[in-house]
Structure 1
Amino acid sequence: MKVAPLPQDELERLAALRSYAVLDSAPEVDFDELTRFASELCGTPIALVSLVDAGRQWFKARVGLDAPETPRDIAFCSHAILQRGVFEVEDASCDPRFADNPLVASQPNIRFYAGAPLVNADGFPLGTLCVIDRVPRSLDPVQRQGLAVLGRQVIAQLELRRKLVDLAHARDQALAGVRAKDVFLATMGHELRTPLGGILGLSELLLEGPAGAPAAGGDDLRAIHRAGTHLLEVVEDILGFAQLELDQPRLRPRPFDVGELLADVEATVRPLLRGRSLTLKVARGPAPIVADPTRVRQIVYNLVANAIRFTERGGVDVTIEAGEGTLAVRVRDTGIGIPTDKLALLFRDFSQVHGDHEAELRGSGLGLAISRRYARLMGGDIVADSEPGRGSTFTLTLPREPG
């Protein structure tokens, strides 16, 4: 028996084979079908997809043979991978290379063997698609060509399988990254919100002062409260944007009254009016809707807080307008306004439309972008109309019922 020599590029060939992560994998129907077709095409009782590893040949698919692998030194496929065409042995019992081979002398009693090398795109032979019979014979030209074609299909399936494995690995890494980001966002949200909430709560208590007495250091306390409120809004915007980028949030629509929600928002933004000569008028009255109240409140708060922030004199007016199947919340202010050529930038991520002289009014540049995304997720939208020096109007429109 003659043992096949190792290919000159054996180390690189083995590395290429293992890059497919296919050795010792479970049976797969695509390889099984190609192997069965090779058996039928060539009229042989045995057909194999054999991958030649360092010390064995392992069968990815097999027809007519129970053994999952055999030693490499007795494998016919070890000789076949040294060829570039179909390797054929018509009668192994008469071939000095194989006559005393255990696979010839005993089970499975090989007499005929033909193997098409499985050569990948880089030129490395990974193994063979082979057919085996227990009687001497040969392939006709059609069978020989067909076996070569099926071998190329096996390679195509290996390449596809590797891409799918890589994609699954990339998906798992991405999901792990998303989970890590979720944990980070939750942790940072807690770590940032908790101290900021304490600062705001304490500054509010100090601003109230003893009953009937003005708070000492009122201007400084108001500055601390404004700065804390501003920082908390920036934190909320950044965390909200990150969550939207990670995954589309699940909306939780339910019936609620927008009029009651506006009253709640009004109470929340009232502290922003301290020390400022502004009026805030908020509509009253029932306005039923089915939507996600948490997201609607977030949007309306953002619109009203922005209106207050960018209005020095005059006031902010919040109204509700019913349409056919829709409900609109309109926030008008008498603030600094927005130039027409910058209106299109309002809803872009991280965009700022005001100049450096208004830097103290700036937020994260995310609030309106996040608000519009949530509005559109609920089937609505936000539009803006503004005139420099005369104020702005932002309109949130939502369907009365989810689409």
Structure 2
Amino acid sequence: MYYRRPRHSRHLADIVAVWLVAVLCASRVLASPREWQPLILKGSQLPVLSGIDIGHLEVLAIHGGRAEPIPFQVDEVSHDGSYALPEGPAGMPGNPRPTLAPDDEIALIVSDLGEKGTATAQLPSQALEIEVADPLGGPLRYAYVGVAGAPRLSDRRYVAYDPRTDTVETDHYRVGLTNGLPTEFVTQNGVGEHRPNLIDRMKVRLTTLVIGLIHFSFTEDDIHSQLLAWKVGPIRMVRRLSHSVNLLLGLRSPVFERNDFFYRDHLENPFKMHFSWAPRIFFRDIRVRIDLDFNDLSGYELLWSQMSMPPLKIGNQEMEQRLAAMGSVPISWIAIRGAGRTTVQTLAPTPDLPLLNRQLYFNDAPNRPDPPEHIRGEHPGIGYVITGWEKLEGGVHTFVSLLITTRADYSPGVLMEELLSPPVVTVRARAETR
């Protein structure tokens, strides 16, 4: 029998349907705040500014109908990808009057961008419009790059560096480095909060079998690093380091270099590995453990990708035992949440990454030694056990480690979507937009 719903029921259903659509659309828009994410433009994307004196550039955004300068920096980059880093023992000053070149990089923060410019008088007549579209939804964002004799510049600086203590600090974290590796890490909500250090050190432990006979291992203490040069700007700090590793029989690996990037909300550590031959020819059972050895994360929560249980409350023995009973846990990211922040660690997608297997490493054993370390035990140790290195061929392989800190209610899942779906940038002259 056909049943005709009363009119008020149909109206209720219509209201519910509209509400659901609104919620879904809103959640899609709000799902991608990208508060942590930088925007890097190459000079080649702004060809009409090629050869312009960098000191005459200004970047503006419209907020509430008013044009205002936003922080930006231009980093000189050579054709081979090397950054001009003026500070440090191997610092090389760039051009005393640098001009914008195709390989140079202009760094911004996505969340600083604003509305589409309609107030012509507030923007330079020849300004370029930077339009940023989000594949995950949400409104378009805009910035305007202009040239002026006396450019309007923001006085905001997101990154500070103290070379005496080798410490990088922003409103949202503080990192102290020793031998190129973190020995201090703090999340915070403002510079100078003086929160206690959360970690003892970053641990890097490798074990393998050489030619099927000799057991070989090294730790982070076998890595030799030297800070060569750096540059600190309003948006990021770029550091160049050299590395070598102690090998068998007193031998040391060739020296290689890498650049690290420190932004307001995240650390980016690209590193390249060069193998003259495929590792499997001489090595078997290669196992690399990389973790942060925390001093005391009681009260924090642990999260990871494809988690099949509620967030693990660190220090809760029942939950930690449940995790231990799960055995190997494949993951693509891990996160801790506490003290008003959520901090996510992951590896950015690269062609070689799918060849490796990443398992969750979690060890809450403050009374069990895990040398070398300064403070006995781990409370807890959180990171990865990485295997599958034998699948790599000879040649150069690139990996990019990311540590991102956001406000506590920022979803790690949303953050990973943002990482995997970068914004789409269009650059045009303002005359083309009218």
Structure of higher CA gyration radius: 1
Decide which structure has greater helix share. Answer: 1
Tell me the TM-score normalised to structure 2 length.
0.24
Tell me the TM-score normalised to structure 1 length.
0.26
